[in-house]
Structure 1
Amino acid sequence: MKNVNVSLQVIPSVPEERLYPVVDKVIEYIASTGVKYEVGPMETTMEGDIDTLLEIVKKAQRICAEEGASRVCSVVKIDYKNEGVTMDEKIYKYR
């Protein structure tokens, strides 16, 4: 399957002082996978094979729980086209 974009926002239920450290663990994991990604102020957008990206989404939930979140709410957005879609084609003119 061609590239898709998946945006992920994790909202772990942790004390406020733990919020960024837990989110940072998720971003570290995303970086370790080798997929193309970009961190934004509200979500992280990834580019790649949909199955790979959805596995990352699943693992992100587990990371939050392992880091002490009693609950994790996540927002996931998927941009799919038959011919594939890239982050660059959507934002190149803003760079």
Structure 2
Amino acid sequence: MANANIGLQVIPSVSEEYVYGVVDQVIQLIQDSGVKYEVGPLETTMEGDLDELMDIVKEAQKVCIQSGAGSVISMVKIQYRPEGVSMDEKVEKHR
């Protein structure tokens, strides 16, 4: 399957002082997965096989709960084209 892009924002249900710690655990999960990714101020964007990326999204929910969240809301954006899509094609002219 061609590369897709997924933007993932997690909003864990924890006290405000613990939010970044839980989000950091999700970012570590993404980093450890080996997929190309970029952390932004409101979401992390990943690039790779759609099935692999969706598995990371599912696992991110578990990481939030295991990190102490009572629940988690996730915002997911997906861009997929049969010929593939890259993060670079969206932002390279702005860098």
TM-score by length of 2: 0.99
- Number of the residue aligned with 1:49: 49
What is the number of residues matched between the two proteins?
95
Identify unmatched segments of 5+ residues in structure 2.
none
- Number of the residue aligned with 1:40: 40
- Over 3 Å off, 4+ runs: none
Q: Report how far residue 54 of structure 1 moved.
A: 0.3
Cα offsets for 1:19-54 (capped at 9, x unmatched)? 000000000110001000000000000000000000
SS across alignment from 1:59: helix
Q: Report how far residue 13 of structure 1 moved.
A: 0.1
User: d(CA) in 1 for partners of 2:80 and 2:30?
Assistant: 20
For 1:52-71, list aligned pairs within 5 A: 52-71=52-71
Q: Report how far residue 94 of structure 1 moved.
A: 0.7
- Number of the residue aligned with 2:11: 11
Q: Report how far residue 18 of structure 1 moved.
A: 0.3
Aligned-residue sequence identity (percent) comes to: 62
Q: Report how far residue 82 of structure 1 moved.
A: 1.2
